[in-house]
Amino acid sequence: MIRFENVTKTYKAGTVALQDVSIDIDKGEFVFLVGPSGSGKTTFIRLLLREETPDQGRIWVAGREIAHLSPWRIPYLRRNIGCVFQDFRLLPNRTVFENVAFALEVIGRPRHVIEGQVPQVLDLVGLAGKRDSLPGELSGGEQQRVAVARAFVNRPLLLIADEPTGNLDPATSQGIMRLLDRINRTGTTVVIATHDAGIVDQMRRRVVELHRGELVRDQERGVYGYGT
């Protein structure tokens, strides 16, 4: 599903954000990308979304090499990738339903598809009763569920999350992780960048650790810190 081959990314200022990173993630896997702030996790995700291009190396997503993708194909790449962020990125003046529907509307999905898929995914994230609320009327955890619903409504092959629990308390974080786990069990590949040791230790899934842009650990059923 995802393959990095000797990927190096240096920003203009000269910061080396990723250094010769190679990794394979298979379809249906659930992977934590861990490491302290500044270790290169967000850069990894931005490369996947083709918001950045690597200086060296190659990247495949769903069988397609994306480092040299022509710009007009980028939107179609992104339709295969659902994305969740620490700050939710909801539209404050649209309801829960509209926020989720927006993701389908702007890729040209017809009305009847939207009417069918949005209630389904709201049901999945447990927000069927809040479809007409505005984001400002929801708790942080609920807002993040809306974001997950929006990321998943188009049934992407891959769901990535950058610090999805960064703004949430531990109990709420657990709920979000259970939701992502359920989504993973539908066959969707899930990649979560986090420095939240609690959720990583609790889930016991594959852990890939970055340190100053280098891949220093890749462990099945791992925990946040070193060792097992």
Ligand X SMILES: Nc1ncnc2c1ncn2[C@@H]1O[C@H](COP(=O)(O)OP(=O)(O)O)[C@@H](O)[C@H]1O
- Residues 176-195 binding other proteins (CB under 8 A) are none
Both tokens assigned to 214: 């280098």
Are the C-beta atoms of residues 141 and 175 closer than 8 Å to each other?
Answer: yes
165 is a contact residue toward ligand X (CB under 6 A): no
Phi, psi of 11 (to 5 degrees): -80, 165
Q: Which of 25, 40, 117, 192: binder of ligand X (CB under 6 A)? A: 40
Nearest to other proteins of 23, 77 (CB atom): 77
11 is a contact residue toward other proteins (CB under 8 A): no
42 is a contact residue toward Mg ion (CB under 5 A): yes
Are the C-beta atoms of residues 117 and 93 closer than 8 Å to each other?
Answer: no
Q: Which of 63, 108, 136, 227: binder of other proteins (CB under 8 A)? A: 108
The Cα–Cα gap between 103 and 151 comes to: 8
205-217 burial, b if ≥16 CB within 10 A, otherwise e? bbbbbbeebebee
The Cα–Cα gap between 157 and 161 comes to: 14
Minimal CB distance residue for ligand X: 42
**Contact footprint for ligand X (CB under 6 A):** 11, 13, 15, 17, 35, 37-43
Would you tell me which residues interact with other proteins (CB under 8 A)? 49, 51, 71-72, 75-80, 83, 89, 91-92, 102-103, 105-108, 110, 150, 154
